[in-house]
Structure 1
Amino acid sequence: MKIIITGASGMVGQAALIESLNSPTVSEILIINRKSIELKHPKLKELLIADYSEIPFHTDKFIGYDGCLHCMGISAVGIDEIDYTKITFGYSKILFDSLLKINPDMKIIYVSGAGTDSTEKGNYMWARIKGKTENYLLNLGFKDAYAFRPGIILPEKGVKSKTAWYNAMYSILRPVFPLIKKMKGTIGSSDLGKAMLSLLKKPIVLKIIDPLQIKNLAKNFTENDY
């Protein structure tokens, strides 16, 4: 299986990349980033794009891939709705449209977040925009597509957040991670990566995936592929 990963420099993208590199079911990985993650691996290829609006000029690089884990995202803190929409929905739309032209049979997973608003009419700007992005993907026409809505993600296997104070908080809480992980809305980063790979291999009817379902998918992938 050959897959594309976006946002590999962020915590979610790192989780997806680590599990993909470790999985015998994944033979090749193309990561799309603005800056190199400076990692060498026989499975790994890197496409550096300064602006996501340039993606349609690189579609020849996407030929032959079976799935895409779209993990790119930004915090809504300190950003206005126009810019947040451009990055969250606009760039995602460009990516999805480009992949659909290359291979409508490709499996796509978009990572949004718990609290995403499918009605696109709620009070929270970030939730409306992520809901719009989910809705666009799930109705675009891919053979298989999913929206992941993780809650609290606990970093594992060296995964780090791009936000410094998150990392400081995780360091303080690490001794009680086993207890926190048992909470309903909490998952480990490795579970997130494994769950995505599980869906690429074996599709399910449900298209919006919550934390409990992420845990179950990760368990199935562990049992079948490791």
Structure 2
Amino acid sequence: MNVLLFGATGMIGQGVLRECLLDDRVDSVLAVVRRPLGFSHPKLRELVHRDFTDFSSVAGEFADIDACFFCLGVSSAGLSAEEYRRITYDYTLAAARALPARPGLTFTYVSGEGTDSTERGRSAWARVKGRTENDLLAMPFHTYVFRPGYIHPLHGARSRTPLYRRLYAASSWLYPLLRRVAPKYVTTTEALGRAMLAVAERGGTGEHVLHSPEINGAAADRRP
């Protein structure tokens, strides 16, 4: 399997990249980044690209991919509505539109619990996420949408946002409790990576919108 990865420098992307590099069934990973990752691996190739609203100049690099894992995203906190929409919707759809029109290609998008698929709710971020999901699901490839709740970082995965790093560090002791009292809303960076690899081999079958329980179930099926 040849994987195209967006968001490899973020917490989720770090976890997904790790699982791809560890999995013997993955032949290569092309990570589209704005800055170098700072390490090398025989399976990994980096593509430094600045304009995430337009991938037309590098679309030829995507010709041989089998699966695209889109892990790039931001919180709406502190952003204008226009900026949040640009990063959440415009970046994602620009990447999707640059993919080759090949049967069997899979696109997996990390959305979030609480997304408004009707696009009519009161929450602006949820409407933007909903529109992004809906437009991806209408595209001519196999789209899977992940809607995790709390994501626990494993194996050194770290948020690039200092505030989030502090929050994760302060609340990490709560994770075992959350797994017991609210298992429907908890997953890990490891599980997200394994679940993406699992759905990429489904050939478009199964549920296309996965919440934490379905993500964790798919990850269990993909254990090395």
TM over 0.5: yes
Aligned to 2:161, which of 163, 177, 182? 163
State the shift of 1:166 in Å. 2.0
State the shift of 1:162 in Å. 1.3
Residues 129-178 of structure 1: per-residue CA shift (max 9 Å, x gap)? 11101000101111x11110010000001100112222222223333422
Which segment drifts farther, 132-141 or 171-180? 171-180
Checking the alignment, whether the CA contact within 8 Å between 2:62 and 2:100 is kept in structure 1 is no
Distance across 2 between alignment mates of 1:54 and 1:81: 20
Distance across 1 between alignment mates of 2:17 and 2:35: 16
Matches within 5 A, 1:41-190: 41-101=41-101, 103-142=102-141, 144-182=142-180, 183=182, 184-190=184-190
The DSSP-based 3-state class of the residue aligned with 1:145 is strand
Counterpart in 1 of 2:215?
214
Q: Which amino acid in the other structure matches residue 116 of structure 1? A: T
Distance across 1 between alignment mates of 2:166 and 2:79: 23
Checking the alignment, whether the CA contact within 8 Å between 1:181 and 1:188 is kept in structure 2 is no
Structure 2 residue ranges without an equivalent (≥5): none
The DSSP-based 3-state class of the residue aligned with 1:146 is strand
Distance across 2 between alignment mates of 1:47 and 1:132: 28
Which segment drifts farther, 81-90 or 110-119? 81-90
The DSSP-based 3-state class of the residue aligned with 1:12 is helix
Distance across 2 between alignment mates of 1:54 and 1:205: 31
Distance across 2 between alignment mates of 1:165 and 1:97: 33
Count of residues paired in the alignment: 221
Distance across 2 between alignment mates of 1:214 and 1:29: 21
1:31 correspondence with 2:49: no
Q: Which amino acid in the other structure matches residue 141 of structure 1? A: P
Instruction: Report % sequence identity.
Output: 35
Distance across 1 between alignment mates of 2:134 and 2:110: 13
Distance across 1 between alignment mates of 2:179 and 2:162: 21
The DSSP-based 3-state class of the residue aligned with 2:176 is helix
Distance across 2 between alignment mates of 1:54 and 1:119: 27
State the shift of 1:100 in Å. 4.2
Distance across 1 between alignment mates of 2:40 and 2:197: 21
Q: Which amino acid in the other structure matches residue 143 of structure 2? A: A
**Distance change in 2, residues 1:104/1:136 (3 Å):** farther
Checking the alignment, whether the CA contact within 8 Å between 2:159 and 2:165 is kept in structure 1 is yes
The DSSP-based 3-state class of the residue aligned with 1:41 is coil
